[in-house]
Amino acid sequence: MFKSPKTALVFVLSACLTTGAVYAETKYQIGTPATAVEIAGWDIDIRPDGTGLPAGSGNAIDGEETYEIFCASCHGVFGEGEGRWPVLVGGEGSLADERPVKTVGSYWPYASTLFDYIRRAMPFAAPMSLDDQQVYDITAYVLYMNDIVEEDFELSRDNLAQIVMPNEDGFFIDDRPDVQNPRCMDNCADPDKLMMKGSLAGVTPIGHFVEGADAPAASHSGQHDLEATKEAERKASITGETAVTAVVSEPAAMSQAAEAGESTYKAACGVCHTSGLAGAPKMGDMSAWVERIQQGNDVLIRHALEGFSGNTGYMPAKGGRADLSDEQVTNAVLFMVESQH
C-alpha cells in the first residue's frame, strides 16, 4: 500500500493543494468556519502520543468502584466478560495458541486507545456520559487489572503516553498480497490427495429454506430464549424438578404512557433487560417480575430513577442514562411492567 516513493506522493499532494486553493477561493466558498469552541466540543480523539488527553488524573483505587457501577455488568467484576461481551483481562502469551485470548493486556498496543474508547463509546448504553475523572479512573483500573500499572499509580495526561503495553511490538503493516495462486486450468491438484470436510450441523439458522431444519434461533431474543430454556432444562436435570415452560399469551392493551415508554426501553433499558445483564429482570421472565410488580409502580419507578441495589442485581440511577427525563424513565418502567402479562 505504501510502496510508492514518498517524493511522488508529496508531488501529488502539493499539486492538489495548489489547485485546491483555487477551488476554495474562486469556485465554491461553501461551508462556514468552524470556531475553536465548536471544535473543542467535538474533538474527542486521543492518539498514542497523548495528543488530545484532557487535564486531570485518576487511579485504580477510585476506579474499582466506578468500574463496578458502569462496566462490570458486561465485562465482569474481574474483566472476565459476561456472556459474549468482551473479555478485558488475561490472555498474556496466548496469541500464538490454538485459541488466543485477545484482551487489553494481551493484545492492545497503546494505553491511549483505552482512554479514547471508554470516553467515546462506553458505557455501552450511555456513551459520552462519563466525566474525564471517571474515564481516567476506569482506564487506570483496567490497566491495573492487567498488571500494567500499580494500584496507587496516578494516571494523568502527562504519563499516559509513557505506559508501554505488552503487545506494542506485536503488529506489522499490511503486507498483502501474501499468497500467489497461479491460474492453472488442468491437473491442478491430485484428486486422491484432496480432502473434503463437511459442515458442522445445527449452528446455522436455516429454518427459512430447509423444512424441519434443526436450526438455532433467527433473532437475538429468540437466541436468549433458546439459551434460557436450555439452562432451565439443565438445572431441572440437576434438581430433578420439572422445568417451568413459559406460557405465551396475547399481549394486553397498554396505557398510553407505557406505549410512549417503548422507544426509551429500546434505546436505553433493553441492553440489560433483554439479556438479564447485571441481574436485571428480563422482559417476559414472569418469575423475575411477579414480586417486583407486587411492590407497586411507585417503588419500581423510584428505584429506576434513583438507582437500586438488590439481592440479585444492580440498577444504576436511570440505568446510567442521566440524559433521560424522569418522564421517559417512568414511561419505560410502565412499558416493562405492562409487558409482563
Partner 1 sequence: MTTPSTTQLLQTMQDASEHLTANDRREFLRRGVSYVAGAAAVGGASIATASGLSSNLPPNEPQWGRQLGTGVVENPYGLPSRHESQVVRRTVPWLTAESISSISMSPIQDLKGIITPNGLVFERYHAGVPDINPDEHRLMIHGLVDNPLIFTMEDLMRFPSVSEIKFIECPANGGMEWRGPQMEALQFTHGMLSCCEWTGVPLKVLLDAAGIQTAGKWILAEGADGAHMSRSIPIEKILDDTLVVYAQNGEMLRPEQGYPLRLLNPGWEGNTSIKWLRRIEVGDKPWHHREETSKYTDLMEDGRARRFTFVQECNSVITSPCPENPIRRKGFLEIEGLAWTGRGKIRGVDISFDGGVSWRPARLKGLVLDKALTRFSLSTQWQGEPWLIQSRAYDDTGYVQPTLAQLREQRGVNSIYHKNSIHTWQVAPTGEVKNVQIT
Question: Which range in 11-19, 234-242, 285-293, 332-340 contacts partner 1 by CB under 8 A?
Answer: 11-19
Which of 117, 314 has the CB closer to partner 1?
A: 117
251-288 b/e with 16+ CB inside 10 Å = b?
eeebeeebebbbebbeebbbbbbbbbbbebbbbbbeeb
Decide: is 11 part of the binding site for partner 1 (CB under 8 A): no
Which of 66, 106 has the CB closer to partner 1?
A: 106
x/- mask, partner 1, residues 254-293, rule CB under 8 A, reads -------------x--xx--xx------------------
Is residue 70 within 8 A of residue 314, CB to CB? The reply is no
Decide: is 323 part of the binding site for partner 1 (CB under 8 A): no
Instruction: Count CB atoms within 10 A of the CB of residue 37.
Output: 7
Rounded (5°) CA angle 80-81-82: 125
Residue 88 CA to residue 78 CA, distance in Å, equals: 8
Interface pick for partner 1 out of 65, 77, 83, 327 (rule CB under 8 A): 83
Please report the sign of the dihedral spanned by the C-alpha atoms of residue 214, residue 217, residue 223, residue 226: negative
Interface pick for partner 1 out of 11, 19, 77, 295 (rule CB under 8 A): 19
Q: Which residues 187-216 are close enough to bind partner 1 by CB under 8 A?
A: 187-189, 191-201, 203-206, 208-210, 216
Cell of 232: 432451565
Which of 163, 301 has the CB closer to partner 1?
A: 163
Helix (H) or strand (E) holding 156: strand 155-156
Decide: is 21 part of the binding site for partner 1 (CB under 8 A): yes
In angstroms, what is the minimal distance from the CB of 267 to partner 1? 8
Cell of 42: 467535538
Q: Which residues 161-190 are close enough to bind partner 1 by CB under 8 A?
A: 170-189
x/- mask, partner 1, residues 43-62, rule CB under 8 A, reads xxxxxxx-------------
Q: Which residues 139-158 are close enough to bind partner 1 by CB under 8 A?
A: none
209-221 b/e with 16+ CB inside 10 Å = b?
eeeeeebeeeeee
Q: Which residues 228-257 are close enough to bind partner 1 by CB under 8 A?
A: none
Q: Which residues 26-45 are close enough to bind partner 1 by CB under 8 A?
A: 28, 30-34, 38-39, 42-45
